[in-house]
Amino acid sequence: EMVSAGISPIADVVINHRCASKQDGNGKWTSFRNPDWEAWAICNNDPSGTGQGAPSTGQNIEYAPDIDHTNRKVQEDSKAFI
């Protein structure tokens, strides 16, 4: 009905920081489920010190790992999640 009324729906989803589902072998919260990501999906300059991805393109925060949105797999999984 929205489209027929000339209204285009838009969603603004913020997923640049995500809380992990469980701890890794070192006790760091870096293991994600649904989608399944590990340290490869976390920016390499994240304060957790466990990231293996590209450097952050934004501001790091302490309470959740900074997700590497330059990673093609992260991009594909994010689109599928939305």
Residue 13 pLDDT > 80: no
* pLDDT at residue number 5: 92
Q: What is the mean pLDDT of the chain?
A: 87
The reported pLDDT for the residue numbered 54 is 97
Task: Tell me how far apart the alpha carbons of residues 40 and 71 are, in angstroms, rounded to a whole number.
Answer: 9
Tens digit of each residue's pLDDT (9 = 90 or more) over 33-48: 888 999 999 999 998 8
Q: Which of 48, 54, 42, 51 is nearest to 17 (CA)?
A: 42
Which positions ≥6 away from 16 have C-beta within 8 Å? 58, 66, 67, 69
> What percent of the chain stands above pLDDT 90?
33
Tokens representing 79 are 């689109």
Q: What are phi and psi of 31, to 5 degrees?
A: -105, 120
79 or 55, greater pLDDT: 55
